Amino acid sequence: MPLNMEKNFTWLLTALLAFASAVACAESRYATAQGSPYGIGKSYMGREIAQVMSYHGAPWLERPERLQEERPDLVLAALDLKPGMTVADIGAGSGYYTSRIAERVGKTGTVYAVDVQPEMIEILKKNMAERGTANVKAVLGTVTDPRLPAGTLDLALMVDVYHELEYPYEMLAAIVKALKPGGRVVFVAWAVVTTAGT
């Protein structure tokens, strides 16, 4: 075998082994879970991953009750958003938080609105157009990659989304690559607390 061919073969074999190892490692992070009505039958770190909310639920995301139930004003105040910031709204859905973030980062700021459903992206674009929000870039991501430019984000926000990430390890690794030095990843989630009567 000629020397160049041997080098190419060695390089190809090394690359294939590295890829196979990465795939095996990625799959070992996840386990089969006892399927619940809202789960996908797959768990990560002992927690079953939830189904992604369908784009058919977009009107529910825009319900007026969210103002009192979730207090987005307090959430956004806690984020300390400034004009000119670059923010990603991961799992943006209909753009409920996207438009509010866009208002706070202003015309000199940018909001990347990421979702994995093409239909939800279309709903989001329509909502942004109706609200006159011009500093939002809609991004169709994948289950492992939000498709964000590297080293650009001041903040990545996930509002009630993390539990739906089919590949949380891979998705967070990709999000971290998109952060500027000192950039932040923020999770917002609500827990339903019930108490039993006596």
Q: For residue 184, list its beta bridge partners.
A: 155
The predicted pLDDT at position 1 comes to: 52
Containing 192, the helix (H) or strand (E) segment is none
Q: Residues of the chain with pLDDT > 70: what percent? A: 82
Give yes or no for residue 51 having a pLDDT over 70.
Answer: yes
| Residues pairing with 156 in the sheet | 88, 185
SS3 at position 39: strand
Query: pLDDT-derived band of residue 4, with 50, 70 and 90 as boundaries?
Result: low
Q: Which residue has the higher pLDDT, 18 or 177?
A: 177
Q: List pLDDT tens digits, range 159-179.
A: 999 999 999 999 999 999 999
Are 161 and 185 in contact by the 8 Å Cβ rule? The answer is: no
If one compares 25 and 190, the residue with the highest pLDDT of the two is 190
Burial class (CB in 10 A: 0-12, 13-18, 19+), 154: buried
Task: Give the residue carrying structure tokens 């399927």.
Answer: 35
Give the residue, 31 or 27, on which the prediction is more confident: 31
Task: Please give the pLDDT value at position 10.
Answer: 47
Q: Mean pLDDT over residues 110-131, rounded?
A: 98
* Domain ranges within the chain, ordered by starting residue: 3-50, 60-188
The strand pairing partners of 188, in sequence order, are 159
Residue 135: pLDDT over 90: yes
Q: How far apart are CA 92 and CA 104, in angstroms?
A: 16
Helix-helix angle 96-105:72-79, to 10 degrees: 40
More confident residue, 173 or 34: 173
Kindly state the percentage of the chain with pLDDT values over 90. 76
Q: Report d(CA 175, CA 145) in Å as an integer.
A: 8
Beta carbons within 8 Å of 96's beta carbon, 6+ residues apart: 61, 62, 66, 72
State how far the Cα of 101 lies from the Cα of 109, in Å rounded to an integer.
9
Q: 60-188 — its CATH code?
A: 3.40.50.150
